[in-house]
Amino acid sequence: MQRALENSGRMVEAEFRDADVEGVFLPLLRRLTALRREKGRRVAALLAAPPGAGKSTLAALLAALSRETPGLLALDALGMDGFHYPQAHLSSHTVVRNGEAIPLASVKGAPETFDVEALARALCRVAAGEEVLWPRYDRALHEPVPGDAPTGEIALVEGNYLLLDAPGWRELRRCADYTIFIDADPVLLRRRLVARHVEGGKSPEAAAAFVDRSDMANARLCLERSLPADLRLRLDGDGHFVAEV
């Protein structure tokens, strides 16, 4: 299946195996629809995955499938990146790394650069059915900006650290009705991330240097320190998703 999907405000072409759609994605949407009917209120699900695993594109596909498949309730795909601290905050605050205080801006994308308390409050309000203007991350401005209120019966929040076993992040599970984690080989993730940055305009050398300095540190943290999920998917070497029992 090849689809044009909206991802982070831009249209992307994505391809998924029919077997993944029929055997993994639609059963997941049916489970979330059944959970919504059991709870009698909007449900909130977390989709956590390391950089390069395709979580944003998958979330966009799930949102599209939910609206075009009979018997399913509408799902809204919500990104965690809108809860990045503003650039002014990142530039004026520091974090200690290897015994040295460095600006948060230099490690943008790490857990410390997100307002996890605001994320937890918003998640709990969305799950309770309240109207919340969910922020989004503007990749042109490199800043979080106001977004829209989710309208679907299922809210799926995607991001790297949603299942991180660390103070503040563990609180997210309190308002989550269902959790999903995507596992992947770090070698595969590195290859996909380098290709993404090259496509974005970096030279292969600059892309590799950036990925090794930033993205892979975040990927290892996500892979090594995430809590167990209700559903664990594995991204294989061919880019297909396998549900792990």
Q: How many residues does the chain have?
A: 245
For the chain, the structural domain boundaries read: 2-236
Is the pLDDT score of 131 beyond 90? Answer: yes
Q: pLDDT digits over 43-70, tens only?
A: 999 999 999 999 999 999 999 999 999 9
Are the beta carbons of 172 and 119 closer than 8 angstroms?
Answer: yes
* CA gap 10, 212 in Å, rounded: 26
Task: Compute the radius of gyration of the chain from its Cα atoms.
Answer: 18
> CA 102, CA 164: separation in Å to the nearest integer?
23
CATH number of 2-236: 3.40.50.300
pLDDT tens string 5-27: 766 566 677 778 889 999 999 99
Q: Is the pTM of this model over 0.85?
A: yes
What pLDDT shows up at residue 97? 85
